[in-house]
């Protein structure tokens, strides 16, 4: 079995915030519990030892993947970072962190560097959920009332995540009928230029077959269309409940959880979709503040389209904060117990000394090893960055170089060019 080597971590800011929380005074309990849960999630991952699963078939998707097993037989999916879409890795991690605070329905996703056959490989890792099926191909009118409510709740999260790759295939069904929300690689892909509408389908292409565009349509769109056609009934209280969970969250917490992604996106996303990290975070917060009004307007338009009196969105339910606090307390207790049940990594061993061994005769797994990683380009970029900051007497040169460099390390190796750094330092608000 192989010990994981912690790699790229978007949780650094969370850890630092947790350590300094006491000095900052009494913090909101939801924020404190969210930070604690994220720190424990990382600690649990750090203590987990992996081996390559024997069966590697049927993994699906576009990225190269490896199925791993932990010491208890639990299965994990490791996805190699897509060199053409590196931002997707950080979107998944940010969405997973936000879900801890909001609804807990997105499976935990971490960025990680694993050593595979002596080579450092950057990617994401997540423990596989025990789903029995997905909503792919399931007509909305076939869902239970509870599942329809959950679809509406998941739509609220997806709107906050700016994610429209929300087809039925990305909505998993657990054995008890509960839904999970996964594959958030398109997190804030459109930078806030998207629309909340049952006709909005940005992943559809005119050249695609009609059946394919239908297959990849956001599942919530289909639910709203079915309601407008009178095929089913919806419970607006589910929307209000989901909106209320976001309204409880402090702005500062949302900034913390999304700032790593926002910085990476500001570096990697070209015009016309480019935003500085600060601009993206402000759009995220503005979306949270307008959340109830946006969904009230959606409900009003849908009521008009159905030809019924306007259906109103009720205020947030009483007791919602207490229920959220209890959910997070249970999560923290479970993570604490799971982490304590695992031995800590031996302090005497060098990080990454043990590694995963992948059989060289398996062509499907060999493709993973084509990912090349070198520290040399990133070290040159860091040297350029230090020089630029010092020459400009930038505030980061005095107080934040270490944090800035850590952020730079997070978004990958061999992808930093001097002109990108110069543009970031001079023109993107850093």
Q: What pLDDT does residue 332 have? A: 97
pLDDT digits (tens, 9 = 90+) for 63-94: 678 889 988 889 999 988 776 777 888 899 99
Please state, rounded to an integer, the average pLDDT across all residues of the chain. Answer: 79
User: Does residue 99 surpass a pLDDT of 70?
Assistant: yes
Sheet holding 171-173, edge to edge: 133-134, 171-173, 179-181
User: Does residue 163 surpass a pLDDT of 80?
Assistant: yes
- Kindly give, in sequence order, each residue whose CB lies less than 8 Å from that of residue 268, ignoring residues fewer than 6 positions away: 86, 87, 411, 415
What DSSP string runs through 371-415? ----SHHHHHHHHHHHHHHHHTT-HIIIIIHHHHHHHHHHT-SS-
Query: What mean pLDDT do residues 260-264 have?
Result: 85
Residue 345 pLDDT class (50, 70, 90 cuts):
low
Peptide bond connecting 180 to the previous residue in cis, omega within 30 degrees of 0: no
Residue 347 pLDDT class (50, 70, 90 cuts):
low
* Residue of higher predicted confidence among 347 and 241: 241
Query: What mean pLDDT do residues 40-49 have?
Result: 89
* Residue of higher predicted confidence among 22 and 247: 247
Q: What pLDDT does residue 241 have? A: 96
Count of beta carbons in the 10 Å neighbourhood of residue 375? 12
pLDDT digits (tens, 9 = 90+) for 369-419: 333 333 444 455 455 555 554 554 544 444 444 545 555 555 444 344 444
Lowest pLDDT segment from 249-258, 261-270, 333-342: 261-270
Residue 238 pLDDT class (50, 70, 90 cuts):
very high
Q: What percent of the chain has pLDDT over 90?
A: 50
Q: What pLDDT does residue 98 have? A: 97
- HSE of 156, CA atoms in CB hemisphere, 13 A: 31
User: Does residue 51 surpass a pLDDT of 60?
Assistant: yes
What separation in angstroms does the CA of 218 have from each of 167, 224, 426? 4, 10, 39
Measure CA of the first residue to CA of the last residue in the chain; give whole Å. 43
Residue 259 pLDDT class (50, 70, 90 cuts):
confident
Nearest alpha-carbon partner for 111 in 167, 61, 41:
41
* Residue of higher predicted confidence among 370 and 187: 187
Could you tell me if 255 and 207 are in contact, meaning their C-beta atoms sit under 8 angstroms apart?
A: no
Could you tell me if 321 and 245 are in contact, meaning their C-beta atoms sit under 8 angstroms apart?
A: no
User: Does residue 27 surpass a pLDDT of 80?
Assistant: no
Could you tell me if 396 and 389 are in contact, meaning their C-beta atoms sit under 8 angstroms apart?
A: yes
Could you tell me if 86 and 267 are in contact, meaning their C-beta atoms sit under 8 angstroms apart?
A: no
Could you tell me if 218 and 164 are in contact, meaning their C-beta atoms sit under 8 angstroms apart?
A: yes
Q: What pLDDT does residue 59 have? A: 59
Report d(CA 139, CA 222) in Å as an integer.
Answer: 8
| Threshold 0.85, pTM exceeds | no
């Amino acid at each position: 079995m192989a010990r994981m080597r912690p790699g790229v971590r978007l949780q650094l800011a969370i850890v630092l915030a947790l350590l300094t929380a006491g000095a900052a005074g009494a913090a909101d309990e939801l924020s404190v519990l969210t930070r604690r849960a994220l720190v424990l999630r990382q600690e649990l991952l750090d203590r987990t030892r992996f081996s390559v699963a024997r069966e590697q078939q049927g993994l699906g998707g576009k990225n190269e993947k490896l199925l791993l097993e932990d010491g208890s037989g639990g299965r994990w999916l490791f996805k190699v970072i897509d060199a053409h879409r590196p931002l997707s890795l950080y979107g998944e991690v940010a969405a997973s962190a936000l879900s801890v605070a909001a609804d807990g329905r997105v499976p935990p996703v971490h960025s990680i560097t694993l050593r595979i056959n002596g080579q450092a490989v950057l990617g994401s890792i997540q423990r596989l959920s025990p789903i029995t099926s997905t909503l792919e191909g399931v007509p909305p009118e076939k869902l239970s009332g509870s599942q329809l409510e959950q679809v509406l709740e998941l739509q609220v999260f997806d709107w906050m995540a700016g994610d429209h790759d929300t087809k039925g295939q990305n909505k998993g069904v657990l054995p008890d009928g509960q839904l999970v929300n996964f594959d958030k690689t398109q997190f804030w892909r459109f930078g806030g230029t998207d629309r909340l509408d049952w006709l909005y389908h940005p992943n559809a292409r005119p050249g695609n077959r009609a059946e394919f565009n239908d297959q990849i349509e956001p599942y919530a769109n289909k639910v709203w269309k079915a309601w407008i056609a009178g095929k089913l009934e919806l419970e607006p209280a589910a929307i209000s409940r989901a909106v209320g969970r976001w309204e409880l969250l402090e702005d500062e917490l949302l900034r913390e959880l999304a700032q790593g992604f926002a910085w990476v996106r500001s570096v990697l996303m070209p015009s016309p979709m480019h935003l500085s990290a600060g601009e993206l975070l402000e759009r995220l917060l503005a979306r949270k503040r307008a959340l109830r009004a946006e969904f009230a307007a959606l409900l009003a338009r849908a009521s008009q389209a159905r030809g019924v009196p306007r259906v109103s969105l009720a205020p947030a339910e009483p007791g919602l904060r207490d229920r959220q606090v209890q959910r997070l307390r249970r999560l923290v207790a479970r993570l604490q117990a799971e982490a304590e049940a695992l031995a800590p990594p031996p302090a005497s061993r060098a990080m990454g000394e043990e590694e995963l061994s992948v059989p060289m005769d398996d062509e499907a797994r060999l493709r993973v090893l084509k990912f090349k990683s070198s520290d040399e380009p990133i070290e040159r970029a860091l040297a350029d960055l230090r020089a630029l900051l010092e020459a400009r007497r930038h505030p980061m040169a005095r107080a934040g170089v270490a944090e800035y460099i850590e952020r730079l390390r997070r978004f990958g190796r061999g992808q930093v060019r001097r002109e990108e750094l110069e543009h970031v330092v001079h023109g993107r608000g850093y």
